[in-house]
């Protein structure tokens, strides 16, 4: 059994609507010192075997866990 972590982030220049909304609401709620918030998602994947585990994880990261048009992924461990 192998555990592989994948971080998915928005590409530079692509607006993340959730992050924009949260940042705006911080100001409304009185947290005016907050300049920016960006969000990434980390998937911790437990997968059988080890041989082609990273290959499978790369495949699902590209096809399912991220939208390659607006997001990129990084294998963390």
Question: Applying CB under 8 A, which residues contact a second copy?
Answer: 1, 7, 22, 25-26, 29, 31, 33-49, 53, 56, 60, 64-65
Distances (CA, A) of 11 to 8, 45, 73: 9, 22, 9
Nearer to a second copy among residue 44 and residue 70 (C-beta): 44
CB of 11: closest distance to a second copy in angstroms?
Answer: 15
CB of 23: closest distance to a second copy in angstroms?
Answer: 9
CB of 69: closest distance to a second copy in angstroms?
Answer: 19
The answer to whether 51 and 4 are in contact (CB under 8 A) is: no
As given in the structure block, the two tokens for residue 57 are 């994880």
Residues linked to residue 2 through DSSP beta bridges, in sequence order: 47
């Amino acid at each position: 059994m192998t555990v592989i972590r994948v971080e998915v982030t928005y590409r530079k220049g692509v607006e993340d609507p959730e992050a924009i909304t949260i940042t705006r609401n911080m100001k409304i709620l009185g947290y005016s010192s907050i300049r920016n918030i960006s969000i990434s998602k980390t998937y911790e994947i437990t997968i059988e075997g080890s041989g082609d585990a990273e290959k499978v994880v790369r495949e699902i990261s590209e096809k399912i866990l991220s939208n390659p048009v607006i997001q990129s992924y990084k294998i963390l461990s």
